[in-house]
Structure 1
């Protein structure tokens, strides 16, 4: 995730060894993208068991989710900048090592405070890990190979979310080695160790040509903005919205304004801001971020709500709740395989088609909830979730590539960084906002079934509203490969 314009272009990266990324190396990188997202969603089916074992309140259980998401979202841009300067493989190794160790600490946490500290630290290491994946792909692959690898990167998030809840449900139900909910954290340890063993042999080292200083003030303001936004939204409902929660939420305005002023002034003075306003001013970037914000918030919210509704509302076991997402994961996998061909055929309009399918799938989910609740099961939910999986795949898989293909090539690294930040922030934001809405509705007179119905219909409306926004994405006049060759010629 190169955060300087021309340092984001592949020819202008230094690499130890031949420039290029082999298939095994790409698999290792994708594991690094898969694990942090899986770790975010696998907790959804684990919370009831954690509450019973560690005697945790509802507010404390929300913190198990929130502390990981907040630290991850707040530091992911800084992680990308550090990778540019210190070496992306080096930061990948540091991030993956820390992530694996903190997964072990989370799995064996004796108390709730120990678990919260381990989860917050795991979010920090995930922020160091994730941005190195896309920036390494950008630096080491070209043309169609780069576009395909970016598509795989997008696919890893959706598959990780579904796999996290399916695997998490099975692990809780199976009570592997008597570990119970702890196995859901420990499952990342052997995978992380294998990836670490393969990294040095398969992943080339790259870094930006010019080492840039980290914008410490910008990083502090960005992190502060995300903390005072996400923490109150996560903790407000279980704490019954005390005054101090509203006071913390109100602080987001001055800190956000301060961040905007600092970034604008730094760029005007010729410094290197964390998030240059000139890139946010790009029409294509704004449209891409709008799609990303709506999609990842909806996606994160639905996955969180679905786990709550099927288990605490409909009474499904963790395994049954996880298996209900099987059709979603299968549909997503099918799209990930066919996605490059469909994208060549439909171009940027593939994202608008995905929004339509997602809206139909969410509406169908609401129909099932209205018709058979509480007798939902993996069978009667299969049809709607296939549509949601197909639609989500058509939006998520090409989003990175389409947006990166439309911004100027020399700004692709920064654009990818902003998209990753949007992804991480909005997954946490979706669980906080959509999850809070569901819990408020389910806790009243409506009940879990009507709450799921209303939330699903709301997400369907979001999908419909995003169709015209997605259609504003247009094919780039200059092919990516041609633009890359121009950059290569200029560098030579």
Structure 2
């Protein structure tokens, strides 16, 4: 009898639960939904000349078409994640996809640049509700090797969508279906979002956080103000001749950052959940990872923007040819996605270090091609440099978030992922603003488009080489 009581009071430890996954259709629906925000960012690049001609937009306004979307996503990404934790991730994902569909339709019928910009902001806000729910759903609904595979597939989807976005955009603009021109891009995005909404509604189960945190709306507002103060003068200043307000706006960035930092510290000390928790940034791996993200995504966003303008406005390629010239880059990414996980397991951080070096070599090769051949560049003549850039960039981008988060305490891994994803979206927009401004300034001089492309790609090569020794510090 005593033995029976003891057995009842202290039951034997249950065996560990077997790794669990999601049905294929559910995971596919989530990944398809995650493609849309990145496709929206990059598909628009190749259509910028067509938008400029149709809506009579200048270069600064075209940069804002890219930047407005990026600012909205970056500002609201963590907010979207917190709302999903509190009210249900599936619910927020469905709301985000519905909003993305409506905003894409408004973009497609926009009669002017201001309407297009407002619709792009709305589209970015909806995208910020989508991406965090995909990541959180994979993390909460999958375990073990299934979760690892799901996260790897999420990284692959993001990497491939960047290059394929511009290729698909070029195909649509050049094909001009139903006479829609660049507007067909947003029609496709709306249809894709609607399809994802239906698929998620019927296949993805809901989940919530065990303990939901308050949403830091003040922090989000301060971050948005800081990004606007920084990116608006950078995109509009050159076209307007750098009036006084642009310099005042840039000078205000420093106190805005200080105010944001003070608010984040106070929020964390009071037990609230700030947008960018200072305690997470105290980890050395997180600081290094953040610098890596800034270097990579600023370069990548700037390069994709300038390459689209250089090939179409400079080399007189069609939108289809300009997009197709990125196919070797996409192939390089695809090769990395296939072999990258095995290479990472074998070489670890060294794989990313070599990725920076290979990417830098690709940028140098592209600069040489631009100087030697411009304007007689063709898809085939650009193929080798683009393949090298794609392969090297993939070695950096695909494992970046996972590599950094693996060195952060598990309790703060989610917050760290949010910070890195926020920096990704911020820097894609920042790259289009800064690198794009330098490129356009040089292209308007005797450097012309070929010289401007060579100069900017050499600068990007220097950034990549500077990142290599920084990345190597993750070993220690």
TM-score bracket, normalised by the shorter chain, equals: over 0.9
In structure 2, C-alpha distance between the alignment counterparts of 1:183 and 1:473, rounded to whole Å: 44
| 1:435-463 deviation line (CA, Å, top 9, x unaligned) | 11111111112111111111111111111
Would you say the 8 A contact 2:214–2:272 is kept in 1? no
Corresponding residue for 2:421?
420
Q: CA deviation at 1:19?
A: 6.8
SS in structure 2 of the partner of residue 46 of structure 1:
helix
Q: Which residue of 2 aligns with 1:336?
A: 337
In the TM superposition, residue 62 of structure 1 has moved relative to its aligned partner by: 2.5
Match of 1:50 in 2: 51
Normalised by the length of structure 1, the TM-score is 0.90
The two structures have a TM-score, normalised by structure 2, of 0.93
Pick 1 or 2: higher relative contact order, CA cutoff 8 A, min separation 6: 1
Provide Cα deviations, 1:399-441, integer angstroms capped at 9, x if missing partner.
Answer: 1111121111111111110111011101101111111111111
Output one character per residue of 1:295-342: Cα deviation in whole Å (capped at 9) or x when no partner: 011111111111011111111111111111011111111211222111
1:480 match? none
Q: Write the mapping of 1:19-34 to structure 2, written as runs, cut at 5 A.
A: 20-34=21-35
Q: Which residue of 2 aligns with 1:36?
A: 37
1:200-251, Cα deviation, whole Å (9 max, x unpaired) = 3322212211122112222221221122122222222222211101111221
* Distance in structure 2 (CA, Å) of the matches to 1:51 and 1:364: 30
Moved more, 159-168 or 289-298: 159-168
CA deviation map 1:151-189 (0-9, x unaligned):
222222232221121111111111111111110111112
Q: Secondary structure of 1:445's match?
A: coil
How many residues get paired? 458
Listed one character per residue, the Cα deviations across residues 445-488 of structure 1 (whole Å, up to 9, x for unaligned) are 2111111111111111111111111111239xxxxxxxxxxxxx
Q: How does 1:16-415 map to 2 (within 5 A)?
A: 20-415=21-416
**Cα distance change on mapping 1:446 and 1:51 into 2, 3 Å:** same
Offset of residue 382 of structure 1: 0.5
Change (3 A) 1:157 1:171: same
Contact map agreement 1:349 1:473 (CA 8 A) in 2: no
Q: 1:8 aligns to what?
A: none
Is there any run of 5+ residues in structure 1 with no aligned partner, and where? 1-17, 476-492
1:363-392 Cα deviation digits (max 9, x unpaired): 111111111111111101100111100011
Matched-pair contact (CA < 8 Å) for 2:297–2:428: yes
Distance, in Å, in 2 between the alignment partners of 1:115 and 1:307 is 20
- For residues 265 and 113 of structure 1, what CA distance do their matches in structure 2 show? 37
Q: Secondary structure at the match of 2:344?
A: helix
CA change 1:23–1:353 in 2 (3 A) is: farther
- Residue 12 of structure 2 corresponds to which residue in structure 1? none
Structure 1 residue 142: deviation in Å?
A: 2.8
Q: Find the counterpart in structure 2 of residue 455 from structure 1.
A: 456
Structure 2 runs not aligned, ≥5 long = 1-18
